[in-house]
Amino acid sequence: MNKAKVATVWLDGCSGCHMSVLDIDEVLIDVLHKADIVYGPLVDAQEFPEGVDVTLTEGAVSSQHDYKLIQQIRKRTKLLIALGDCAVTGNVPSMRNTIPTKRLLERAYVEGADIHQRAPSDGVPALLRHAVPVQEIVKVDLHLPGCPPKPALIAFALTELLAGRKPDLTNPSVAGLVKFG
């Protein structure tokens, strides 16, 4: 049997959603029987590969880097999941959206610093005007809200997907785990 290709990606988030993926405990072993993890912070791959079946996206789209990557991911992924509130609503990263980015960087890196008072520019991608939910940039096939999403919800979604079914979040066994916001 061909193994499914699963990727995870970490955009503007705190990595808590990835922790929640690890927290699915022994379900992870079942997942790894049926799928290879081909990209993400948990594996060593430089470029997002072609032909990925499922991508779990953590984090808001916040920088030029996120913006380009998420479009590449969309092209190369059959089923894109927004994992967690930052990817679903913008959440904490979007709290900066009412402040102009220049002012924001000044406040953090100039006024907020005792030494090296300068906003970084080399080797870091420029910020977008707003940190936005993934669905504002590309089509999202499934939203798994929560900050972070409950491990049992992630386990359910992955198990269903790897069995070839679209996860139904209104299913009574998980409906209580879906907490918007």
Partner 1 sequence: MPQKISLRIDGELIHTAAGQSILDAAKAHNKFIPALCHMKGLSSVGACRLCIVEVAGVGRLLPACTTPVQDGMSVTTQSDKLRRYRRIALELLFAERNHVCAVCVSNGFCELQGLAKRLGVTNVRYPYTYPKVPIDLTHPRYTADQNRCILCSRCVRVCAEVEGAHVWEISGRGVGSRLVCELNRSWGESTNCTSCGKCVQSCPTGAIAEKGFAVEEMSKRTDPISRLATLRAAGSDNKPGVIL
Contact status: 104 vs partner 1 (CB under 8 A): no
Contact status: 173 vs partner 1 (CB under 8 A): no
Alpha-carbon distance of 143 to 88, in angstroms, equals 6
Give whole-number Cα distances, 8 to 53, 55, 89, in Å.
11, 5, 18
- Are the C-beta atoms of 12 and 66 separated by less than 8 Å? yes
Contact status: 50 vs partner 1 (CB under 8 A): no
Contact status: 12 vs partner 1 (CB under 8 A): no
Alpha-carbon distance of 43 to 126, in angstroms, equals 26
Alpha-carbon distance of 148 to 8, in angstroms, equals 15
Contact status: 62 vs partner 1 (CB under 8 A): no
Q: Looking at 13, 59, 133, 151, which residue binds partner 1 (CB under 8 A)?
A: 133
Of 5 and 150, the one with the shorter C-beta distance to partner 1 is: 150
Q: Which residues contact partner 1 (rule: CB under 8 A)?
A: 82, 85, 88-92, 94-95, 97-98, 130, 132-133, 135-136, 140, 143-145, 147, 169-170, 175, 178-181
